[in-house]
Each structure stands twice: as structure tokens, then as C-alpha cells.
Amino acid sequence: MSEVKPDKNSKVVVIGAGVAGLAAAIRLQSKGYDVVVVEANVYPGGKLTQFVQGAYRFDAGPSLFTMPQYVDELFELTGRNPKDYFNYTRKSESCRYFWNDATHIIAYADHQQFANEIEKKLGVKAVVVKKKLLKSKQMYELAGRTFLEKPLNHCSTWISKDIVKALFRLHSLSLFNTMHQENVNMLKNPKLVQLFDRYATYNGSDPYKAPGVLNIIPHLEHGIGTFHPVKGMHQITESLFRLAKEIGVTFRFNEKAEQILVSNGAIEGVKTNIEIIATKMVISNMDVTPTYRKLLPDLKAPERTLNQERSSSALIFYWGIKTTFSQLGLHNIFFSNDYHKEFKDIFSGKVPAEDPTVYVNITSKDVPSDAPEDHENWFVMVNVPQHKNQNWQTLIPAYRQAILKKLNPLLHVDLSTVIENESTLTPLDIELKTSSLGGSLYGTSSNSRYAAFLRHANESSRVKGLYFCGGSVHPGGGIPLCLLSAKIVSEICPKP
């Protein structure tokens, strides 16, 4: 297979080998650039990494995989068959939900089956559920693809037929109500409202503040589907890293970018802890705030953008469990009794939450080799505020106790007796490992109707040759949107 031979004067430096950095490198190398990726860590993937704890394997970060076409697209772009590198299966259920009163719901992928489950367990007519899913799909088709796949700072985006059509139907996008208000209006039942409110956490936001347009998110899961890589989430990183190396991308690990060099309003290089790399184009996959604060100290920062409310973070426990639980699936949510209070606590910085919602991901359900036989690997996460000098070592045992108090009666077991080994990841750890300010998982939150339009653009308006990708810029956080940010960058940058 013939590869694109880049011009020797068309070097691009990508700062950060997170999933967006990998995707940007692949796209730009395929476009004809000579791409160099500098990464402070000794491994690729950013948050999308793995580790082994005793006899258990864990995906360290993102655990939900939707919109796999954006990964496949990167292989197809280079003339390769994605199946030769990366395989995944579509799940027959997206999640299992649990409440303190022992209500238990399985969110089946099949819409009729899911609607029937809701009618059986909550007494809400199946037709209401199907209407809700259809509304989410219509919102996505009306505006989702355009707003997610196009740069919002380009005039061409706003004069497209799709945008004009969306503007004429602005009322149907629920911009002027919150997610929660929209869900209450349509669904009524408190548990079903809570189930759909939780999609605000997909970009680290508060459903009681986030605009109703975020109700397009359920379509990604219920309409397009949830998937799981056959070897775990880290297979995404491994396959993209392999592809990038095959097409000629150069990786320089354990090399930290210290400054983006700018002269007369244009990029002239990147200074690392090892040398200065001359280049006329830089793509930063680093959180946009430290990009400005640390790498562009002499450039006036866009303070309004950088000072927006940050998204929530996470406290994660990795537990090796020496038994199995048949009532649990790959994804499991144990809801709090007072969701509104929980989000108020998170965004006011109060910790620990008295009754946290707990997410449990068990990849050994799908990948048996991730745990010994008759054992399970539990990724246990609670949403928490970003790091602002909290003493997480003190908070870890408090959260651990709150989680056990919640799960034990619902699972009819004393979990402390079956936890074989344990490690934790705090917001401070996330910040130190990935340069995400305060450990915020998605950059800024979407806790205002204008938040989507205030995200940092993918291209600098003041420095020629400076671009941005990753979860802290448009279109947002999470694997699919990070991949789309890389796609946007590749489409707006000039040809070499």
C-alpha cells in the first residue's frame, strides 16, 4: 500500500497523545504533513489507558463507547480495513439502573423492549418512552451533526442549509428550558426523569442548569447504540497508535512541551524539555487553559472562555472482586435519592456527597480475561467537584464508606469482604497525569444555554498555524467528540 509522502517543510507538532491527538496526527499525516507528536507521559492515550492490578486488568478512564464510526473512519481514511486493527460488538443493553427502593431497570437496546421494561417497572406507558427517544433522534438529526461536526467560528457553518433549517425550528431544540424541565414535561415519572437527566453527566454538567438541547445525547446511546471493544477500551488507543506509526507519524514520549513559540502572530516552533522543534503549525491536544497559561505565557488569553465553569471530575475506585454478581451488567448506575442536591453539592464544591450516584463498570462481563475465573474487575466511579485544594486522601475513605453503604443493601452483600485489591484515581491524579485543569473530565461544563457557543474554537484567531483539539474545546468531551475535534482541525487547516 502506498503512503502519502510528506513535504520535508510541512512539519506539524501535535502536543499530547490523547485520543484526539492521535486522531489529529493520523488525519494530518494522511493529508500530507510530516507529523511529530510530543507527549510528556511514556505512553499514548491520555485518559484512555489501562493498567494491571494483581490478576485484574482495568481500563483506567473512559468506559463507554458510542459512535464507533469515527474510529473506523480513521482506518478507512488511510485505505485500511478497520477490522484488521479494531473490533467491537454492539451491546443488547446500554445500562442497568438501580434505586434505593430496589427498583431495577434494564435499558435494552431494542426500543420496544426498553419501553416495555419502563412500562412494567415504572408504570409509564411504552408510547411515552418511544416518543422521548424519537424526540432525541429528531433533535440530533436537526442540529446535532452540524453543531458537532462543523467549526462554529466559521461563517460557512452558519450559512449552510442545515443550520438555516435548524434556526427555523429553534423551538424544537429546547434551548430555553433546562434538560430537567424538558424531561419533567414529557416524562413526569421521577425515576424516568432521573434516568434521562443523567445524560448531562456525559459532558460533566448539571441537568438542572444545562439546556434542553443536551437531550440529543440519549440518541447516541439508544439510537446509534453502545458498543464495547473486544479487548477493552484501551484497544482504541492501541489500534490508533499502531495505525499512526504505520503511516509515518513520529512519537516522542517522555518529552514535555514547555512553550509554543510565536513570532509576529505566527507559529515558529515548540520548545520542549529536550530541544526546540521548528514548525509553522501546532495542534494542542492539551487542556486549553494550561495551553494558554503555561505554553503561551506572552499571548493575551481569552479570559472569558477560560473562566467558564469547569465540568465535574471523578473519584474512581478500582476493585478486584473475588466473586461474581449476575444481576450486574457491563454498565450499572445506582442512583441517589436526591439528584438535585447531589448536583448542587458537586458544583458548589461540597464533598463528600451524602448520597452519591455510583457508576460501576465491569469489563470482565465482556472480556473474561480481565479478571480471574469467578471474579470481577470493578471500576467504581462517583462524580465529584474539580480539584481545588481538597485533601483527597482524607476524602477517599469517606467516599468509600458512602459507596459501600449504598451498594451493600442493594446487592445483599458486604462488599468489603470480597474486595481483593484496590487502587484509586482522584481529580488531583487526573490533573497531574493528563494536564486537565482541576481534573475536570470535559473541560468546561454546559451549565448555561450558551455554553456550547462559548467553548474555545478549534483554530486560533490571533496566531496563524495554531489549532486545538480534545475535550476542552469544540465540540466537547468524550471519545466521539474528541475524535470530531480532530476531524474539524484536519478540515480547516490548509493543505501542506
| Closest among 437, 469, 438 to 456, alpha carbons compared | 469
Handedness of CA 151, 156, 160, 166 (dihedral sign): positive
Q: In this prediction, what percent of the chain has a pLDDT beyond 70?
A: 91
Question: b vs e for 102-126, b when ≥16 Cβ sit within 10 Å of the residue's Cβ?
Answer: eeebbbbbebeebbebbeebbebeb
Q: Are strands 93-98 and 331-334 parallel, antiparallel or unpaired?
A: parallel
> What pLDDT score does 131 carry?
97
439: left (phi over 0), alpha (psi -120 to 50) or beta: left
pLDDT tens digit sequence for 396-425? 999 999 999 999 999 999 999 999 999 999
Q: Averaged over 432-460, what is the pLDDT?
A: 84
| Topology given in CATH for the domain delimited by 11-50+60-88+231-305+450-492 | FAD/NAD(P)-binding domain (3.50.50)
pLDDT tens digit sequence for 95-150? 999 999 999 999 999 999 999 999 999 999 999 999 999 999 988 887 766 677 76
pLDDT tens digit sequence for 43-87? 999 999 999 999 999 999 999 999 999 999 999 999 999 999 999
- Binning pLDDT at 50, 70 and 90, where does residue 158 land? very low
Calculate ∠ Cα 180-115-88, nearest 5°.
90
What are the residues whose beta carbons fall under 8 Å from the beta carbon of 162, sequence distance 6 or more? 143, 145, 146
Bridge partner residues of 95 (DSSP): 107
Rg over alpha carbons for the chain, rounded to the nearest Å, is 22
Instruction: Count other Cβ atoms within 10 Å, centred on residue 411.
Output: 16
Say whether pLDDT at 152 is over 90: no
Q: Averaged over 354-377, what is the pLDDT?
A: 97
pLDDT tens digit sequence for 450-461? 666 678 999 999
Question: b vs e for 283-312, b when ≥16 Cβ sit within 10 Å of the residue's Cβ?
Answer: bbbbbbbbbbeebbeebeebeebbebbbbb
Q: Boundaries of CATH 3.50.50.60 in the chain?
A: 11-50+60-88+231-305+450-492
Bridge partner residues of 282 (DSSP): 13, 466
pTM (two decimals): 0.93
Q: Averaged over 186-192, what is the pLDDT?
A: 97
Calculate ∠ Cα 164-443-315, nearest 5°.
135
